[in-house]
Amino acid sequence: MEHVELNDGRSIPQLGFGVFKVDPKQTEKIVSEALEVGYRHIDTAAIYRNEEGVGRAIAASGIPREELFITTKLWNDRHGDAPAAMAESLEKLGLDYVDLYLIHWPAPANDHYVRAWQSLIELRGQGLTRSIGVANFVVPYLQRLLDETDVVPAVNQIELHPAHQQPATVKLARENGIAIESWGPLGQAKYPLLEVPEVVAAAKAHGKTPAQAVIRWHLQNGYIVFPKTNHKERMVENFEVFDFELTEAEMASITALEREGRVGSHPSEVN
């Protein structure tokens, strides 16, 4: 497993497992399988309503807490109530702390995200989270945090896949030492990414699947990535991406697929 060094001195496993849209009734089983495969980085959120299942899987795994990296997120209607929201998440997860706590969306119409960020700074100071960051913060919202507070987010988790690479947001993040996490790294199957000739050719050249080639593209770009699947065989496939490397030409061909093809909601519209 490769790790990314964060700007607060901590490190994060570069490949993780996401539980977005995982049925709460199936979460314990699915996360347990991911941990069996070898994943040690689990990404959940309060709004997913499956933190309890994640917590049960962690407890049943017998894996030492220090070997795990657990992320959860603050939902939009709790920006003014982050300490209580954090307490609820920790209780559901059965943990004393999380490794990373994120503001899930800026929710700009509510205009409380700077206040929420200040609360996260305090929660980190109390040891309830080791690192803090944001999600879905495009340039205006990220720049405002940088301008109005003195703590730089450790990460910015954004929609990122070959058709939608958000170069301006990535540039601002990198200029300020903020690691990028890719959500929807395979495009959420909302366009035929795995059938694109450039992806298929790169995969074939290395004896890998198209999904593995795209995950490798994320890793070589330095992004933290957590593909989501409910199937153990796909978990294994997604995990077997550290034994090959795309060439510069293959990387460039996949990068050239950029077309501002967002498949999720725009951060300005989620409140």
Which residues are catalytic, by number?
A: 48
CA distances from 166 to 28, 138, 191, 221, 257 (A): 33, 8, 17, 13, 12
CB 123 within 8 A of CB 151: no
CA distances from 3 to 15, 42, 153, 185 (A): 8, 14, 18, 18
Strand locations in 27-92 (E)? 41-43, 69-74
Give me the amino acid identity at 121.
Answer: I
Burial of 62 (0-12, 13-18, 19+ CB in 10 A): exposed
Q: How far apart are CA 170 and CA 165, in angstroms?
A: 8
How far, in whole angstroms, is CA 72 from its chain's centroid?
A: 10
Q: Helix 139-148 vs helix 167-175: angle between axes, to the nearest 10 degrees? A: 20
Q: Does an H or E element contain 129, and which?
A: strand 129-135
Structure tokens at 109: 């119409």
Cα dihedral 49, 119, 14, 45 in deg (nearest 10): 10
